[in-house]
Structures are given as C-alpha cells and as structure tokens.
Structure 1
Amino acid sequence: MFGQSSFRRILLLRILLLSIPILFLGMAVTFRKARTSLLNTARVNLQQSAMRKAETINSEIQALQTSLAIASETAALQFGSPVSSKVLLTQLQPQLPTDVRCLQLRDLSTNRLIASTCGNRVFDPISTRNWTNRRETAAPDRLQLYTLTLNRINPPDQADFTSQLNLVMGIPVYDPSGNLRYSLTAQTIIRQIENVDPWVLQGYTVIMDANGTFLAHPMADRVRQNISYQPGEDRFQEILSNAMRGAPGTRHLYGFIDFDGVEWLAGFSPINITTAPGITQTWTVLSVTPLDSALQGLKEITQVLLILTAGLLAAHLLAMLYMARDLALPIEQLGKYALRIHKRNPQERAPKNFRIRELNNLAEVLDSMVGRLEERAKELESAWQEARAANQLKSEFLANTSHELRTPLNAIIGCIRLVKDDCCDTREEEVEFLDQADKAAIHLLKIINDILDIQRIEEKKLPLTIETIDLRQILKEAIDLEIVQAQQKGLHLTATPLTESILVQADPARLKQVLLNVIYNAIKFTDQGGISINVRTELTTHPPLSERNGERSEMGSATSKPWVIMAIKDTGIGIDPTQQHKLFRPFVMVDGTTTRKFEGTGLGLAISRNLIEMMGGQITLYSDGVGHGTTVTIAMPIVEPPQLEPIQDSQPISEPSAIG
C-alpha cells in the first residue's frame, strides 16, 4: 500500500539510523578526547621547556660571571700589562662557558683600551655606578660585582629561526692595593636548543623584558621590537602579566612568524636576572611551537578512527541484512496465516519449525489465541449486558460525586496556574496559593480514600487488625489532630477526663478513622459554640444503642456486659428528623440550601457505621432538628470491666491532653 514499507526495510533503516549516529558520536567524542589529551600534554611540555630554558639562561649567566670574576683576580689583569693581558684574554676566551665573541680590558680612568681579542670593536658601554671604588682584599662579595646589559651596538649576526640572546657583561678589576682601576668586558651569545619538528616539543625561544620588548626572537628583524607592533598584542600582554606575578603557563598565539594567522602554542616562565648590584629585572622566556606540530599524533588517530568506523559500519550492515532476513521471513508467513484466519480450515495450524524459538512460541500462542477467541465470542453477549448495567451504576456514581471531585481539582488547577502564570505579586502570595492547592489535594485524597473504603467494605475485602487497645489513647490522638481546626473556627472542644484505662477489641487505625470522621463532621457543621465528647461506661445485658436503632432487647443475652459509650455532641446546624435515617447510606447527604455550602460525598457516616459494626460496636445519630445541633453516639464492648463505678457525668475540659 502507498505510504507503507516492508518489515525488512523498516528494520534496516531503524537500526542504521540508530547505529550510525552512535558510531559517529563515538568517533567525535574519541577525537575530542584525543585532541584534548595531546593538547594538554603539549602545554605541559612547552611550559616545562620554557622553565628549563629560563634555568639554563640564568645558570649560564652565573657561570660566565663567575669565570670572569676569577679571571679578574689574576695578576696580569690587575697590573694592566697590555701584553700579558692580551695573552690571558686570548687563552681565556675559548674556555668560557658561553659563546664569547670578544673580551676587552679597559682603563676606567682614561677609558683607554688596554687589551682586546677583537681589535677596537665598539659595543655597548658598561655602567660602573654601582661598583665600589675600593674593596678589601678579603671582602666576601669581591667576586659578586658585575654589570649586565643587552648588546645593541654591533651585535653578532643571527640567522632566521635560530634565537639568540646577545649580552655584554662587565666585571670590575681592582689593582693589588684594592683600588678600582680596570673593567673586563665580555660580548657573549646565549643560545638554546630549538626544534619545532612534529613530536618534539622544545619550540623556538623568545625572551621579553618587563616592557614587552623582544630580547631574543627566532626572526632577527623582531629583536628589539615591542609587542605592541605584533599581532595578538593582548595575548603577549597577558603572558607578561602572569610572568610578572611569577606564574608560568601556556597561551595560544596567532601570526607569530608570518602574520598569517597560523595558530601557535607557547609555554612561558618568568626569570629574574641581576643586571647590576642591587638591580634585578624580570624577563619572560617562551617556548613557541606550531599547533600542528603539537597535535601531530592526532592525524594518525584520526586515520585509525576513520578506518575503524568504516569497518564497523560495514560489519554492522552485513549483520543487519542477515538478521533482517531471519526475522522477516517467519513474520511474513505468520502474517499471511493471520490474514486468512476467518476462512481457514479448522484443522489448519500456524506455520512453525522456524529457526527462532520465540517465533515458534508466537505461532503456538497464535493458535491458542484463535481457540480462545472462538470461546470468548459466546461470552461477549452476556458480558455486554453486564457492562450496560455497570455503565448505569457508573453514571449514577459520577452524578453523585462529580461535583465533589471537580471542586478540589478546580481549586488545585486554579492555584497552580496562578503561580505558574506569575500572577502573584509576592512570595507569600505564591505560598498562600500553594497551601490552598495542598489543602484541596488532601481533600481530594480523602474523597478517593472514602470511595475505596466503601468499595472494599461492600466487597468484604477491607482488612482489619483487631487487637486489645486503650480507648483513652485513641481518643486523645483523634482530639489532638482536630483541636487545631476547632480553634481556627473559634470553637470549644471539650472531653471527659479519663483516669483509668478502657480496653476494647478494635483496629486502632480504623477506630481512629471513625473518631476523626465524626469529630471532623461536628466541627465542619458548627460555626458557633463548640463540641463536647462525653465518655461513660454501662453494664447492660443488651447493646446499649439497640433501642435507638429500632431493635429489640431480645438480641442481647442474660449476662450483663460492660460497654463504653462516647457521645460527640455539637451545636451546629442540626438535621431534620425525617432525613436522619438516610445519613448512614453511601452517597447520601441531607437536602436543602443550608448544607450546600459544605463539602462531602456522603460516605463518611456509611464507612464509620460499617467499621464500627465490623469491630462489634454500634453507632447512632440524633438531632432535635435544624439549628439544634447533632449528637453521634458510639458504643464499644469493653474487654475487661473496669473496677470502678461507672462514669455518669462528663466534666468539660479545654485541652485534649486531659484524655488519659
């Protein structure tokens, strides 16, 4: 048919539609995880490379200073002999720890060049302001004085992609009497091992001072330029800010070499360099490598993922083709059998002997179902009649309870929508509406519980746990639960104080339910006055309320038995005597406009009467008429007669705690 598809096609399409996104999602997640892992590794390695380069620069400067300071103690330099000094400097130059291009000894008083390994080459002058004019021979810091500056005049040539730091270091030379006489100056180059090949995370070396000027750069034309002329100035400025705080780290840079927007990864570390006695500068050392080199391994991982995904898709497709065939053929045969069931031979059975056990079981179930359908067809007619009767009963039930169910539901929906639509001005108003919805929901639950209870009572399926209990405790708990509601309406709730235990055989939960229902009704139908609960005991040969129920005393026995009688009396609206006999029927309420404002389904007294009678007691209701209040009386047999005289008069109290 148009718009329909076969089982095989649907099965294949659905499985592929589910499996392909999962495979690609797994590939994307794996790729993302691999990239993140490689990137984190590259960041750590470049940061460590920058820290190692910073340590190497610092150690080489210290080593050069120490070597020059030791050389300044030699007699050839202290006496200032041109010939001896030249010989010493020539021998010293190749032995120094750094690449020293020139050594010069100069007379500070005349600024005359005494000896040099590079002729009369001129380079940056050395400041001697922080050098002492005289020193003691045994001074502990005599080898610590030096001045370090950048080599800007006649610096050595630099090839591209080979970073080098050009420095000029000056050491004071004192004559044998301790007077400052000469300066020993060295023009040196400090280089680092640099490699930006894939898998090697050493990177190019970049050094910046605190002002953002490049002291060393793999491109010679960038040296002595400021970062303000570079693309990505904000990234360099952020690196400097972190370095000034002494915090190493990594950042991504763009257009580092050719201003072409290529992404680079840079690890950086601060280094503190002493340039003169008491003067320290903070430089920033960077190890920079292209991001593609840092993520070189990602290409191989991507190739493996693509091959693996393609293989899984192919294997998945082949498996689905075989599975679809094994599933589709039996289902197609069973479908054809089901289409001709109505005109099949009665001896014909569903096809079996499939390779799938579940489909064989389905064929057996299909045969069994056909047999049962034929049997059940005969039962449908009688069931239809019963359904019509049940539908009529349902309509009667809905007519009696729909209003009581709609009222709390409308209240719940209205309150929730007011809160949901943000119609409340304050949080207190929202809480008030939610409290109203909560009360309506509790009321709705009570209605449903009453309906379930009356149903189970009529079906004789309501379980009771009969045990010997103290009536005082049950009565006290019921009063404690209802006294707040009475106080909210301004009613007085009084009860007879009981000093002795009154033991009865009853289900404690159900007995409490009855007492709560009766006390709740008394409070609900009373607007002024109060409710009194009088408790007394009687010794009688027949149930004490049998005459009120219209029963004869012959139903009792000749032996007297003790009973406890509880009378719950209110000053409420009262009930017409002609209507009182209906109140213990389910879904019955007194007619009249006086009671229309009160909620209820008419189940409470019916449930209470059934429960009391199931526990061996009695319950009655009496009212002198409308406006004269109502009295509900409950009688329960006592298990053991109390050893006290019967309680005859009630003593009103104001708090329920007096019970017991």
Structure 2
Amino acid sequence: MKKLFLQSLRFRTIVLVLLGVVPPMLVAIWYASSHAAHIIRQEAKDALALRVTDLADNVSRWDKMNVLAVRSLSENRQFASLDEEQHLPSLSTTYRLYSETYGIATLDSEGVVIARGTGKVKKRSNVSRREFFKRVLAGEEIVRDASISRSFKVPRILFAAPIRQLPTLKMGDKGTLVAKLQNKLKERKYYHGDISGLYDDKTAEAVRQYQTEYFGLPATGIADPLTFDLIKYKEPVKETKQPLKAAKQAFLEKEPGKIVGVAVIATFLTDLSDVVGAIRLGKTGYAFLVDEKGQVLAHPEPKYVTGDKLTDISHYPPVKTILEGNTGLYSFIDENSVKWLSYGVHLPNNWNVIALQQEAEVLEKERFFLQLVVMIVVVAVFSVMILIWLLTTQLLKPILKLTVAAETLSQGEWHQHVTVKYQDEVGTLANGFNQMAKQLRISFSILEAKNEEAQKARADAEEANKAKSVFVANMTHELRTPLNAIIGYSEMLQEEAEDMGQEDFVPDLKKIASAGKHLLALINDVLDFSKVEAGKMELYLETVEISTIVSDVTGTIEQVVDKNNNRLTVNCPDNLGTMYADVTKVRQCLLNMLSNANKFTERGSVTLEVSRERQNDNDWIAFKVSDTGIGMTPEQIEKVFQAFMQADASTTRKYGGTGLGLVITKQFCQMMGGEIGVESQFGKGSTFTIQLPAKVKKPLVETPK
C-alpha cells in the first residue's frame, strides 16, 4: 500500500508542488532570517562595544583630569624656584579640590621632599630610589606608577611630572630659542627683521613693544620666562572635541628646560573602581581595567585588587590579545569550556579597558529569533502540505475514478463506464475512456472468435507436423535396411570382381558403394533430426577422457581432410582431464564441424582447439574449429543454424548436403546444456565454437526447442 502511494499521482503532485513552492519560500525565509540574525548579532556586539567605549572615555577623562592637575603644578613658574613657601598655596589648593587625592608633593632633583599639600614638611624624606622618580629624571613628561597602598591596602596611583628651569633671553644670546622667539614675534607683527637666532637690538625692541602692550609686564626688552611663554602662547588654545589632546600638543611644542624637580599627586583608584565595577553586562558580563603590563587596576571582584601587589593577568586570553596590539572584538574559550566574547579598548596612556560577556548571553536574542524562524518554517511547510493535499484531493477525484475503472478493465471486466460532470480535460479523458471500453468489448468478442479458430488451426498443424515427423522417422528407418544391403552387396561384388580378374567393373561398383554411403549419411541426418523433433532422442551420459574423444574424431576425419589437400592442426593439452557427457553426440558434433570446415576449404587449413574454462564456479569444455575456407556474409550467418538451409543454391549444388549438420549439432549442444556460436568473414574463413559443461546434467525435458 505504501509503495502504491509513493507511485501515485497524488504523491508526485504533492512532491512537485512542494519542490516548486517550499525551496523558494525557504530561501526567502533563510535570507531574511540570516540578514535579521546578522543585524541582531551585530547590534549585540555593538552594544558591548558601546559600553566599553563609554567606560574607556570615563577612564580617559579621569586620567586626563589627574594629568592636568599634576601638570598645573609642574608648569607653575613659581615652582622653578624650589621654595617651599611658594609651593604650598598651589599644593594645598589642589589637595582640597581633588577628593580622591591622598597625597601631593614636590621634590627636588635629588628626590628630597620640598613641600606637601597637607602642610609644612617636618621630616624631608628622600624618594630618589623610587621607580617613578627615575623615570621622570630620564625625560618622561608624565609618569603613572600604580601599586597597592601599604597603609590602606587598596590600589593607588602616582602621577608625576618634571619641574623645569625656564629660560631668560637677553642681548647677545644665540640659539634656537632666540630663533623661535623671533619667529613668534614676526607672526604677531612685532618683529620685521631676519630670523637670525641672534638676540639683537631689533629683537629687544620687538620684545619691549610686546611688554608695553601686554598689561602687567615690565618693558625691559629682556625675554624673561613669563614674557617668553606669553609670546609663544598668547592666543589661548581653541576649544575642540579633544581639548586635552590640544593642550598636550601645545605643551610638547615648548622648548624643554632643565629638570630641577618633580611634582607628584597620589590618588586612590576607588572612584575609578566604582565606575568600572558599575558596568554590568547582563547576568554574566563585567568590565575591568589593566595597565600596560597586564596588571589589574580596577576589577569588580575584590580578589583581583587586594594583597601586597597588583594582580598580573597578562596571560589571560583577552588581556594577552590586547597587549599584543589587537583591540576590538575577541572570542575565546575559558578553562571551563565556556565561550566568551570580549571587547578591548587601548587608551592613550597605554591602559586597557576590557569587557567580557558569555557568548550565549550576548547572542541570546539571535538564538531566540532563529528558534522562532524554525517554528515559522515548520508551520509554513505543514500548512502548504495540508493545502496541497486538499487541492489534490479535489482535483484528482475524477482521475481516481478513471484509475479504478481502468484497473477493473485491465482485469477483463469490459463493461466499464465512468461518469464525469466536468467539461474540462478530465471530462474529455473520461469520454475517451468510455469509447475505448466500448471498442474493447467489441474487439474482444471478435478476438475470442478468432482465437478459437486459431487454436483449432494450431492443433491441426501440430497434429500434422507430428504425423509428418513419425512418417519421416519410419520412412528413413525403412530406407536404411535396403540401402545397407545395396552397400554390402556392392562391396562384396568389388571383392569378387578383383578376385576373378574383372577389374573393369570395380570403379562402377565403388561409385555404387560411395553413393550408397552418402545416401545413408543423409538418411541418418534426417532420422536424427526427426527423432529430436519427435522427442525421442535421449542422452546416454558417461565419463570419458577428452583426449580420447579428440583422438577418435581426428583419426576419422584425417583421410577426408587429406582428400581436399587441407592441413589439419589439433591443439589439445594432455591435462584437460575427463568430462561427463554423451560421448556419441559429442563425437558427432565435432565430426559435423570438422567435416563442414573441410568441405568449404580447399588447399587450406582446418584447426581444432580444445580448452577447459572456469565460468560461474563451473568447469566448461570449449571446442573451437577454425578454417581458412570461403567464409560467410552476415546474411548467411543468420541462416546457418536453420534446418535444410545452406548459404545459397549454388553452395548446395557445388558442395552438396542437406543443411542439417549444424542444426543437429546445435540441438545436441542444447540437450547437453551447452551452446554453439560462429564468427566468420567472407572470403577469409569461419570459426565455430562449442561450449559444453564438463559435467552434463540430464535434462527433465530432453527435446530442445
């Protein structure tokens, strides 16, 4: 039943419609869902990146605020004097303004404390061995030194900047500073001479003119540090979206002077930790801050920001990745086989802000959306299938009626009529079926009458054929007795004529004996053919050496071959063994083939090849007879195994015979379960091959068709 349904028109219609509708629908849904899923995935990643970027901006602002604070101290002109009294006002003010600042001080070039923001220094300690101090003296403009506070056991950071000795330019000075001063004065339309790098009268006059116009400066014509700075930076830095960057660029443009001290601000990372710890990304996400070495500066988990020193997590995959210079989105799998997404931002001060969130949570909306899409696809496909089922049921109902009627008609019930109300193609088909059924009823009635006549005629023909076969068999049997007598008497008369010295009669008597033997052979062929057709031929199976059969046959045929001046070649290996067959019929088959090959060959060669072959787990014996005679055309090959047929009338006249030899050979081969084949080329010779099983089985029906 299932197989019939799979082969039905309904099933094929449903499949074809589904193949035509569902794939485009699935492709459209897949494209839309993939695009939507990509947008959802990208939005989730963008949201993660946005949170990290905002946090990075907050950290940068906090850092720049502290950098500006320490620079405002280090660049204060009064600090170049290294006088505690001149340092205290600015230090105290800065200490009060920044709540997270727990320490603020200035140091001389030897590392000795000059002043503190908390008041006068009672004991001047020396910090010259501290790393931050060495880095400032080495030329770094801003040094950040993060560590765990020994006193408070919380992360803190030192911001340090160099205090430089500012230059004073006067008459007779030479160098790049003078050239820069001349260039700035020329830009401001005070100086009109050449930029020579020599502080001459024109330069002094231009400086004096600038000092006169700038309120509060004494008009000395000497470029003291204050005058030099004002000339260089009279115009304030314009506001930009990155004011700190502009200020830094302006600062770096200054001619660096000799470092005479260091300004230091020490602040806790508490505010920064609160800002970083406040970033929560769903249920699994968080953010943290590391320095350029991968040491934790801020982290929501206390274990990373407590202890005697900063926690080094530079080996952690997202930290390692950003330290190698790879910022942005990064995916990794932790030691618990959990997949994470991280986003890292590298700050200008070489710190790094990193946010993590489990990928499953980041892409949760995408996964939910895809599940929803799958449900929609399943519902859509089932809806289409149901709709197609209903439509095919309605459309195929009249066709099913026709199918049932056709099946009934095929079983011989001719009285079939299909009623279809539709006037469409199905209605036309139904009318055609009804006409066909009517015509079949009429034709079958006529056919039955004709068939009865044909059966009667066939029975009469078979009876006549059987009577003919019996008559021919009886007739040939009756002819053999007088013919044997004629042959015997002719041979006896030959001997008497030779004994009586009447040799003149011998040739005629030999002709009589030869003609009788030839006629006897023809009668034997007809008798064998009649026996086979009448079903009276039997097999007498026995085991025999194959070489013995071949030796007997070649011994018999050698004289006939010599008579036609032909050469007989036999290829029969000694190790062919035995075969179980009807020896007489095998011998007769070989004699018929060899005689036939010799008869149609003159002054040529006849070859007999015998071999044993293995086919389908059975042994077969192959007898191949080849000649170099007249050969056959394709048309002659088609008729060679037909009874009483030879190549043409001229062949019969020239070579004689009844045309039964090969027919009888084929019948004998088929009786023994074998076959015979022929290959021939006109004018070049023929090859006949007999294949017989090494062990012949007696057939249940002995008469081959």
TM-score (norm 1): 0.42
Structure ranking higher in helix proportion = 2
Query: 1 or 2 for the larger relative contact order (CA 8 Å, sep ≥6)?
Result: 1
TM-score (norm 2): 0.40
